[in-house]
Amino acid sequence: MSRYKRYEKYKDSGVEWIGEIPEHWEIGRLKNSIKSCRNGIWGDEPQGDNNDIACIRVTDFNRTNMEIEVNDLTIRNIPASKQKLYLLKYGDLLIEKSGGGEKQPVGFVTIFKHNIPAVYANFIARIELDKRKAYSGFFKYIYSAMYSIRLNVRSIKQTTGIQNLDTNYYFDERVMYPPLNEQIHIANFLDQKTAEIDGLIADKEKLIELLQEKRQAIITEAVTKGLNPSVKMKDSGVEWIGEIPEEWELIKIKFVGTIYSGNGFKEELQGKTEGDYPFFKVSDINGNGKLAISSNNYVDEDDVVNNGWNIIPKNSILFPKIGEALKKNHRKINACSCLIDNNIAAIKTNERIIDFNYFYYYFCCVNAEWFVNPGAVPSINNAYLKNFMVLLPSKNEQKAIANFLDQKTAEIDDLITEIKLQIRKLKEYRQSLISEAVTGKIDVRDYVVD
């Protein structure tokens, strides 16, 4: 923040998380800024009549710019007489009061910057500020600063699986009150600066997408065309593969590997942090590459024997086999023998026939939906999977392809890791800038907003 100047005089705020504030600023309770706070309404299913109205939900919260997204709003039916009590106005703040979780606790605040008729759901409360004291664009950032240090957590009550924010307690927190015109200037400054940072982050995220696409294209090209561009080709007879090197063969998966099914995992056996085998759930199969040896669940040899469970050999390919998870085409390699739940399947290759690393790259090009049972809940059909065709170069060529892809994917993965680090630093800078500005550690009064 060194390129921004500081105020001339400071005083102690008396609030630990705020520290010193400019001498002419005041400290007061959050509730002093609030004109009214009303919990939301859910209403009934839409009827196609004049009582249908858009209803803002927590899923409409944009947690980056702290604004409400209105692209795909839920429609609910609420009598017009009730709608008046819950209609949102431009500049209202919305706070999530119920729901949340450990990684995303309740208490997040967004601003409604639209001129459309809309109400808000029952897990949300609308905060209407006293415009004589508080500018909503500035207080949006105050709430962001508080949320970033988890100040909201001490106001959360949780007796069941749902978190509930005690707003009376939360609104008793002490915050900064710069003069109103200064609040507006700080908010405008932060709107511009955070938008610039968000643009940089979006560019880097797009670059990651392009690198991931390039990575997949390199893999697909190598496992279906080989490494020699001048080799004679033939038609594979498989639409997604196209032409293949003339010497390559096609063979069914059942002839090159063994398919394993998962096991039902009794709830009373879950949660052990030590044991003979890690037991992986479908939630552990996220992304591609090596699966961590550690797990949140372990089982002992006696459990395996007593329950007749399948032990999945080391260096198998694990993948989701049911529901929405399988559509993501995640592929994991287990670094040790393990057990898997019944929403996961595994393939262990016969190393005498096919190189495991080559097969892993090949299988990363396979769309799991190609061998899915039709029905309400998509699931892998083992009969389809067993008969799925695999390209089989010579063993030496398989190893050469795997080694080539190890190098190329590692280069791209290193680039992606570096860009993700840059994104993380930008996000940290963004949040730091917000906190510094709203607590008066930098003076932006002379900053000219475009």
For 346-382, write each residue's pLDDT tens digit.
999 998 999 999 999 999 898 877 877 766 677 777 8
Residue 415: inside a domain: no
Q: Which residues of 46-78 are buried (b: 16+ CB within 10 A; e: fewer)?
A: eeeeebbbbbbbbebbeeebbbbeeeebbebbb
Q: Indicate which CATH number applies to the domain containing 164.
A: 3.90.220.20
Are 34 and 138 within one domain?
Answer: yes
Question: Do both 145 and 62 map to the same domain?
Answer: yes
Q: Roughly how many angstroms between the first and final C-alpha of the chain, as a whole number?
A: 20
Say if residue 168 is in the same domain as residue 263.
Answer: no
Domain endpoint, select from 392, 408, 427: 392
Closest CA to 83 of 124, 127, 43: 43
Q: In this structure, are 163 and 33 located in the same domain?
A: yes
Per-residue pLDDT in tens (0 to 9) along the chain, 450 residues: 557 899 999 999 999 999 999 999 999 999 999 999 999 999 999 999 999 999 999 999 999 999 999 999 999 999 999 999 999 999 999 999 999 888 899 999 999 999 999 999 999 999 999 999 999 999 999 999 999 999 999 999 987 778 999 999 999 999 999 999 999 999 999 999 999 999 999 999 999 999 999 999 999 999 999 999 999 999 998 888 999 999 999 999 999 999 988 888 777 777 777 888 888 888 888 878 887 766 778 888 988 888 888 899 999 998 888 777 777 778 888 888 888 888 888 999 998 999 999 999 999 898 877 877 766 677 777 888 888 899 999 999 999 999 999 999 999 999 999 999 999 999 999 999 999 999 999 999 988 877
Out of 177, 200, 226, pick the residue that ends a domain: 177
Two tokens at 307? 């329950």
CA geometry: angle at 247 spanning 246 and 249, to 5°? 100
Domain that holds residue 295: 249-392
The DSSP bridge partners found for residue 391 are 250
**Contact of 256 with 349, CB cutoff 8 Å:** yes
Least Cα distance to 134 among 25, 39, 32 occurs for 32
Q: Are 28 and 177 in contact (CB under 8 A)?
A: yes
Closest CA to 143 of 189, 178, 95: 95
Please report whether residue 201 resides in a domain.
no
49 and 166 co-located in one domain: yes
Q: Is residue 376 part of a domain?
A: yes
Would you say 259 and 253 are in contact if contact means Cβ atoms under 8 Å apart? yes
DSSP 9: -
Please name the residue that has the structure tokens 């080989």: 226
How many whole angstroms separate alpha carbon 375 and alpha carbon 413?
A: 37
Decide which of 177, 196, 213 is a domain's last residue.
Answer: 177
Strand residue runs (E) in 383-435? 389-392
Query: Which helix (H) or strand (E) is 218 found in, with range?
Result: helix 180-225
The reply to whether 30 and 169 lie within a common domain is yes
Phi, psi dihedrals of residue 288, rounded to the nearest 5°: -120, 165
Provide the domain count of the chain.
Answer: 2
